[in-house]
Amino acid sequence: MSQQLRGSLYLLGAAFLWGTTFVAQMTGMDELGPYGYSAARYVVGFAAILVVWYVFRGARAKAKAAGTYRAGWRYGIGSGLFMFTGSILQQVGMTGTTAGKAAFITSLYIVLVPIGAVLLGKRIRKENWAGAAIAVGGLYLLSMHGSFSLAYGDALELIGSFFWAGQILFIDRFAAHVDAIELSVAQIAVCALGSIALALGFETVTMTALAHSWIPIAFGGICSSAIAFTLQIFGQKYADPAPAAILMSFEAVFGALSGCLVLGEILTGRETVGCLLMLAGAIVTQAGLFFKKQSAR
């Protein structure tokens, strides 16, 4: 399996887990505030990723012996600051907008990431821009229903999309050069500590509410926080930022599909076209690499 294909599968796996966690993020706030749910979710995620870090202690020892080890702790703090801000804005924004609009506005990082990459000196191919435009159109059809107006929650989601783009670009810069699991541990620790501080300062979190919300907390903490964000780091080792952003935005598609399978929701014709356009966008953004391989044969 090529490194690029492996990276794409990692990113699609992350998107799948983020998409299926969307419902957990909403139901987790039935009895908890956004800060309380985020704090509980990231504490569980931190505990889970610590187990992974311990399991891979042998691989780190070999890397240290071979002289290829580079700690990921301080880089994880940097990406964690982006991730924490984006996550909190997303969670709070969900209290003042619809799930579809939240998914659409957040995923505007599809466009923000290649723009940011260009500003940082990276070359973005024409097919990446074309794929991003097609994917944004698909996201609109999939997520948006009725008229578009920018409410308070929407504004928070929009601001958050810039921080998600920053996190993706930060990971792109450092993931290939440092210990990925340590980077993941550090960024989740930042999110946990920041969310705990906000929950203690602005909300009242009871043990009863935590007990009643344990399923969305556990699912969001283990699947989304610990596993998915670690898959993102490994995936971005092998994928350029622009196509990586499109692959990760498939969380909206997986969210819609999981709604059909778990909640019995039905995809409309418009939403089906949106999913197909997103798939087309992902294919278009990889077209240049496909033709390059063909010409090299």
For the stretch 262-295, pLDDT in tens is 666 666 778 788 778 877 877 776 655 444 444 4
**Cβ atoms of residues 42 and 199 within 8 Å:** no
Half-sphere exposure in the Cβ direction for 55 (13 Å, CA):
7
Structure tokens at 137: 């159109």
Integer Cα distance of 132 and 107 in angstroms: 11
Burial of 83 (0-12, 13-18, 19+ CB in 10 A): buried
pLDDT of residue 89: 94
Degrees to nearest 5, angle at CA 113 with 221 and 69:
60
Structure tokens at 17: 């887990």
Task: Indicate the pTM of the whole model.
Answer: 0.83
**Cβ atoms of residues 228 and 14 within 8 Å:** yes
pLDDT by 10-residue block (mean), the chain, 297 residues = 81 88 81 94 96 92 92 94 95 78 75 82 77 79 65 84 92 89 95 97 94 93 91 88 82 74 70 79 63 44
Degrees to nearest 5, angle at CA 80 with 135 and 159:
50
pLDDT of residue 294: 41
**Nearest to residue 272, comparing CAs of 138, 134, 106, 125?**
138
- C-alpha separations of 290 from 127, 138, 250, 286 in Å: 11, 23, 21, 7
Integer Cα distance of 287 and 281 in angstroms: 10
pLDDT of residue 210: 95
Degrees to nearest 5, angle at CA 239 with 236 and 245:
75
Largest CA distance in the chain: 63
Residues 6+ apart with CB under 8 A from 91: 25, 29, 34, 35, 37, 38
pLDDT of residue 148: 59
pLDDT of residue 98: 67
**Nearest to residue 107, comparing CAs of 75, 141, 81?**
141
pLDDT of residue 93: 87
**If you write DSSP's letter for every residue of 131-166 in order, what string do you get?**
HHHHHHHHHHHHH--S-----HHHHHHHHHHHHHHH
**Cβ atoms of residues 73 and 186 within 8 Å:** yes
**Cβ atoms of residues 35 and 202 within 8 Å:** yes
Report DSSP state, residue 178.
S
Integer Cα distance of 240 and 4 in angstroms: 9
**Cβ atoms of residues 106 and 94 within 8 Å:** no
pLDDT of residue 73: 94
